[in-house]
Structure 1
Amino acid sequence: MCGFDGNTSAISAIKDGSLGMDIAQLGYDMGYKAVEAAVKALEGEQVESFIDSGSKVVDPTNCDEYIDDMKAKSLWE
């Protein structure tokens, strides 16, 4: 089974084996790219009509790496 969001409960479910994988939205990147686009717009620069903030497949092979990344960005405790 596959989840979608990349939140702590989904990642915990991957770690305990009750979820096979999760498609994580990259909230940090969403926010960063949104602010970056807003600054460009305020400065009169052209802003793309579509900005892809990406996503990441999280599964048992990269789950710990994902957790470390979230903690490094101060998004998780």
Structure 2
Amino acid sequence: MCGFDGNTSAISAIKDGTLGMDIAQLGYDMGYKAVEAAVKCLQGETVDAFIDSGVQVVDSTNCDEYIDDMKAKGLWE
């Protein structure tokens, strides 16, 4: 089974084996790229009509790495 969002309950479910994988939306990167684009607009630069903030497939092989990255960004308790 696969979840979508990369939230704590999904990652916990991967760790305990009740969920096979999750597609994390990378909210930090969404916000960062949005602010970056806003600054460019304010400076008179043009920005792409579509800005891909990416996703990450999280499964049992990389969920600890994902948690460490979220903690480093202040997004995980």
Q: TM-score range by the shorter chain?
A: over 0.9
Residue correspondences, number: 77
- Determine the structure 2 residue equivalent to 1:49: 49
Distance 1:32 1:10 in 2: 23
Give SS of 2:48's match.
Answer: coil
- Determine the structure 2 residue equivalent to 1:23: 23
State the identity %.
87
Give SS of 1:68's match.
Answer: helix
Deviation, structure 1 residue 59: 0.1
Distance 1:65 1:14 in 2: 13
Give SS of 1:57's match.
Answer: strand
Q: What TM-score, normalized by structure 2, do the two folds share?
A: 0.99
Instruction: Give the residue type in structure 2 aligned to 1:37.
Output: A
Name structure 1 gaps, 5 residues minimum.
none
How large is the Cα RMSD of the aligned pairs? 0.3
Name structure 2 gaps, 5 residues minimum.
none
